[in-house]
Structure 1
């Protein structure tokens, strides 16, 4: 907090956004982080970590729907899903809507994050933690994928930006183990920043991931809170055809799933793989290098 009324995001040097704080609900300083949860008129409750906005009540549905329904509906018959991070419960809330999913493993580094988000952001999880298909594991995400023996159809990494403790979830080792945990034609997705301001995140991910899969690319969505243009989500799979489904097929799967969404549509799903030229160039350049 720079004063009693405004919270300034400091993720991007020389550029950012501010929030009028109606009420500070929670604030904690440790050696590793500065966590703030506050009430606003414009976006409801907001969570910020180390000067970067993590989630807001008003627009979280865009991020969580696109990071969940795109891989699950593209896969078409996912039975086992792994969520890395996601302690606010938003991804879990969307995954449990898929009735055909039989088992969900969620790995969160800190149980306090889960409890805090249940208290301050109850609509994010909306009771999803009570779903009997869930196995909640309190463990570091990299440590989990290093040692896990289970296989999954979809792996969703809902992680913070690649700085500090979250940096390992963008490493080549993490991607290699996530690929190892995928069943044949399984799909891995993860948030990958705003490429207009964080183009290096696109390049780094491609360099570190593309040697493990046949198809490493991105899809996108516009999330108002994550300023600077579109947000990209990494897409990694051996199933080349998974991102090429027709709108008619996606419509059929969406209808069968009986989903109710506020952002996701089958047509938007297909269109989300159309990337701006500057992102395409970053991907093409990075494909020539392996880290």
Structure 2
């Protein structure tokens, strides 16, 4: 039997491939091409328009850093808005925090949620049934426009790159409304790509955020299947002190939140603090 390989199509002249056992699901939704594959090395893999979104083997890195860093840096987050993240992983990690009273998740493509529940059940786990979760199938941009002023503490954007369905999540209009619905100590984080290959994404998004937030930064996570080195997670907030907390303070907050460190495979208080110390080749793209 001939070998079958999944070739990622993110870059035209560089990429990665996975040896596959079988294709579990393939669907053209109203928004994008969704694929779920069983691989020999990384377990089940989710693709959107041919680009790797998540793998069972290394999803913990991205999910932990996208959820735990902003929530513990804030320290008192009760109302959290998640945009995208249809696999449920960010929702699961947000709900690990005992202080969170409401986690609203707005995913534009209901087929991503449906297929993730069926073929990637371990990613979201029991989060789908948590009474604190409000899962909405709809446009996150529209939700942010209509949400009341000062209604959230933290916004987490887990989107595709700024092309296609994810493009509107990188606009001035979106960040202006995000700043409006965040409280006085609120903050927003979002994936800003791998700067070794996508430096423009970090630079341009940071400049947009700077128009509406007094403090803009970024932190990094090493996700093996996001090829090209560190991935950056963009940060925009109203309190610059949130990114300069000590290891001891983060550890104290993590314990109080629900023993987060013991439940993590990548995130730790030291990794949290160190993630804001950017290599010069990344830091130079911040305003």
What TM-score results when the alignment is normalised by the length of structure 1? 0.94
State how far apart, in whole Å, the 2-side matches of 1:278 and 1:89 are. 32
After superposition, the CA RMSD in angstroms is 1.3
Deviation, structure 1 residue 33: 2.8
Deviation, structure 1 residue 255: 1.5
Corresponding residue for residue 84 of structure 1: 83
Deviation, structure 1 residue 48: 1.0
Corresponding residue for residue 63 of structure 2: 64
Deviates more, 1:249-258 or 1:227-236: 249-258
Runs of 4+ residues over 6 Å off in structure 1: none
Corresponding residue for residue 198 of structure 1: 198
Corresponding residue for residue 173 of structure 2: 173
Q: Spell out the pairing of 1:90-239 with structure 2 (5 A cutoff).
A: 90-149=89-148, 151-239=151-239
Corresponding residue for residue 273 of structure 1: 276
Contact 2:31 2:109 in 1 (8 A): no
Alignment: residue pair count: 282
1:183 partner SS: strand
Contact 2:63 2:93 in 1 (8 A): yes
State how far apart, in whole Å, the 2-side matches of 1:53 and 1:176 are. 29
Corresponding residue for residue 36 of structure 1: 35
Deviation, structure 1 residue 32: 5.0
Contact 2:107 2:137 in 1 (8 A): yes
Deviation, structure 1 residue 4: 6.2
Question: For structure 2, which runs of at least 5 residues remain unmatched after alignment?
Answer: none
2:284 partner SS: helix
2:174 partner SS: helix
State how far apart, in whole Å, the 2-side matches of 1:220 and 1:20 are. 28
Question: For structure 1, which runs of at least 5 residues remain unmatched after alignment?
Answer: none
Deviation, structure 1 residue 137: 1.7
Deviation, structure 1 residue 110: 2.4
Deviates more, 1:32-41 or 1:161-170: 32-41
Deviation, structure 1 residue 166: 0.8
1:74 partner SS: helix
